[in-house]
């Protein structure tokens, strides 16, 4: 009998899973449905470039129907608000979808750690709309500031505070400075970019990108200093108000644009499920991605807590992409009534973009070799160009990167 497989989420985990599943599973064996609230896959590692005008939004959004229809999989654009494990159904506003095997790949959501004011007064960087919104705010701020005569008010308007010096915060800070130095400086002659503009980057940790190799942190901090980014480490935020960030040690920073890149937490859809969870809310999976030992529910990507050699795998696109082929093989095995096989994790390393021709790269497969400067930047660019799916997306990426480099960034504040 043909089995029904539902994949919840067309992010890194879901998309790469179906790409592999298609090669393993015959059409007669299963009807596969992908459900996502968006009809595109968002390539999050390049979202900050949308926010800083290096790329247009469509460069980082790959249509999920392109990934499903040609291989005979069904795509349903819908918000899933409930999963009924007992009756094996996924509930959306429009319909109930029944399954024999469910793959939960719904990712995570922004975590404000309960800090007052984050949601109201800070912009987060998680979805495509966030990137577009942030870009609009940045450009609006410069338009306003260009007409402010009072230097104190102008400086406050042009102070950008980024909370969270993980990869997102660091790449954003660096790219924001590049946007100013290589594009905005030329077109806003009334602004003194050395004196009027400040970028603060705050983190509670004692180094930037604390989740990466310490050598990458050193490369990043040197570069940020050269880019005149004011990095404040061991700084814990207690509250965010309108145009101000208060820290636990009693300091207050004032700035019109506050960006929250503080981390992620569990998707509420997963939080509502009666399945085994880790302390951070992720679904505990075994080495074959099954949740609670069940053959009918698998999870991977940010939603899954996969312990490898005593430590949980981090919530990264890289991890989701590496997990996907193994999870696909196991979905196919379970559909056929065969035993699933354990996943073996092989870390690839880390990349961090640090603006124009600068980056840091740690290549795990070359004995942890660490590169900086132009070689790392080349590795970074080639890697993302290859990872992005779709001829149109790749073409846009290549052309826009070249244009941004040689002709300046996209600074028309279009809706
Ligand atoms: C700005 C940013 C930059 C990042 N940069 C990097 C990087 O450089 N390198 C790296 O390795 N990782 C990076 N990450 C982390 C990476 O994006 C995640 O680890 C990765 O996306 C996880 O993949 P996933 O498939 O589990 O979840 P996602 O890619 O988030 O996909 C989840 C999908 O589920 C859908 N969905 C969620 N809830 C529902 C619902 N209730 N109903 C219907 N659909 C739903 C969403 O629309 C989404 O398409 C970054 C994250 C962000 C936010």
pLDDT digits (tens, 9 = 90+) for 192-225: 999 999 999 999 999 999 999 999 999 999 999 9
Same domain, 154 and 197: yes
Same domain, 203 and 146: yes
Q: Into how many domains does the chain fold?
A: 2
Question: Is the predicted pLDDT of residue 106 greater than 80, yes or no?
Answer: yes
Using the 3D structure, point to which of 286, 302, 335 is the last residue of a domain: 335
- Cα separation, 228 vs 243, whole angstroms: 21
Within a domain: residue 228? yes
Q: Which residues line ligand 1 (CB under 6 A)?
A: 9-14, 35-38, 44-45, 47, 79-80, 105-107, 125-126, 167-168, 267, 269, 301-303, 315-318, 320
**CA 263–ligand 1 middle distance (angstroms):** 12
Question: Is the predicted pLDDT of residue 1 greater than 90, yes or no?
Answer: no
Within a domain: residue 324? yes
Instruction: Check: CB of residue 51 under 8 Å from CB of residue 29.
Output: no
**CA 264–ligand 1 middle distance (angstroms):** 10
Same domain, 209 and 125: yes
Task: Report the predicted TM-score, pTM, of the whole model to 2 decimal places.
Answer: 0.96
Same domain, 187 and 93: no
Same domain, 242 and 384: yes
Which segments within 242-336 are labelled E, that is strand?
244-247, 252-254, 257-260, 264-266, 283-284, 297-299, 304-305, 307-308, 311-312
CA of 236: how far to CAs of 63, 117, 394, in Å? 39, 14, 39
Which residue bears the tokens 């069904």?
Answer: 74
Using the 3D structure, point to which of 288, 308, 335 is the last residue of a domain: 335
pLDDT digits (tens, 9 = 90+) for 247-272: 999 999 999 999 999 889 999 999 88
pLDDT digits (tens, 9 = 90+) for 35-60: 999 999 999 999 999 999 999 999 99
Same domain, 137 and 169: yes
Same domain, 136 and 188: yes
Same domain, 285 and 257: no
Question: Is the predicted pLDDT of residue 183 greater than 90, yes or no?
Answer: yes
CATH code assigned at 326: 3.50.50.60
Same domain, 391 and 289: no
Same domain, 372 and 247: yes
Question: Is the predicted pLDDT of residue 84 greater than 90, yes or no?
Answer: yes
Same domain, 356 and 309: no
Same domain, 83 and 228: no
Q: What percent of the chain has pLDDT over 70?
A: 100
Question: Residue 360's pLDDT is what?
Answer: 98
Within a domain: residue 321? yes
Using the 3D structure, point to which of 301, 335, 369 is the last residue of a domain: 335
Give the domain extent around 12.
Answer: 3-37+78-110+265-335
Question: Residue 281's pLDDT is what?
Answer: 95
Within a domain: residue 129? yes
Within a domain: residue 19? yes
**CA 77–ligand 1 middle distance (angstroms):** 16
| Number of residues that make up the chain | 415
């Amino acid at each position: 009998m043909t089995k029904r497989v539902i994949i919840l989420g067309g992010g890194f985990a879901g998309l790469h899973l179906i790409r592999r599943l298609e090669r393993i599973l015959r059409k007669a064996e299963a009807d596969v449905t992908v459900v996502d609230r968006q009809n595109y896959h968002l390539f999050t590692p390049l979202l900050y470039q949308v926010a800083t005008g290096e790329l247009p939004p469509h460069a980082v959004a790959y249509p999920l129907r392109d990934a499903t229809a040609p291989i005979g999989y069904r795509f349903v654009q819908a918000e899933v608000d409930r999963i009924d494990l007992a009756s094996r159904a996924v509930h959306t506003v429009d319909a109930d979808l029944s399954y024999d095997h469910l793959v939960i790949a719904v990712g995570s959501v922004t975590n404000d750690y309960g800090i007052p004011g984050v949601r109201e007064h800070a912009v987060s960087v998680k979805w495509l709309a966030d990137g577009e919104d942030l870009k609009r705010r940045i450009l609006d701020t410069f338009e306003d500031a260009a007409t402010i005569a009072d230097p104190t008010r102008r400086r406050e308007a042009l102070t950008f505070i980024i909370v969270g010096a993980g990869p997102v915060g660091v790449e954003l800070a660096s790219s924001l400075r590049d946007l100013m130095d290589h594009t905005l400086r030329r077109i806003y002659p009334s602004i003194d970019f050395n004196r009027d503009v400040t970028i603060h980057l705050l983190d509670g940790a004692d180094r930037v990108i604390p989740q990466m190799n310490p050598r990458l942190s050193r490369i990043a901090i040197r570069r940020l200093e050269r880019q005149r980014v004011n990095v404040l480490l061991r700084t814990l935020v207690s509250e965010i108000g309108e145009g101000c960030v208060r820290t636990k040690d009693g300091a207050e920073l004032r700035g019109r644009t506050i960006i929250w890149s503080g981390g992620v937490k569990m998707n509420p859809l997963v939080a509502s499920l009666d399945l085994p969870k880790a302390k951070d809310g992720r679904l505990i999976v075994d080495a074959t991605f099954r949740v609670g030992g069940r053959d009918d529910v698998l999870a991977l990507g940010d939603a899954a807590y996969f312990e490898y050699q005593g430590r949980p795998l981090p919530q990264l696109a890289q991890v989701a992409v590496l997990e996907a082929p193994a999870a696909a093989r196991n979905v196919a095995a379970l559909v056929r009534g065969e035993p699933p096989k354990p996943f073996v994790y092989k870390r690839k390393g880390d990349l961090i973009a640090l603006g124009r021709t600068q980056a840091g790269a740690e290549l795990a497969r070359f004995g942890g070799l660490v590169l900086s400067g132009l070689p790392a930047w080349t590795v970074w660019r080639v890697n993302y160009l290859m990872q992005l799916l779709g001829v149109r997306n790749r073409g846009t990426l290549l052309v826009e990167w070249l244009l941004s480099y040689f002709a300046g960034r996209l600074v028309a504040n279009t809706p």
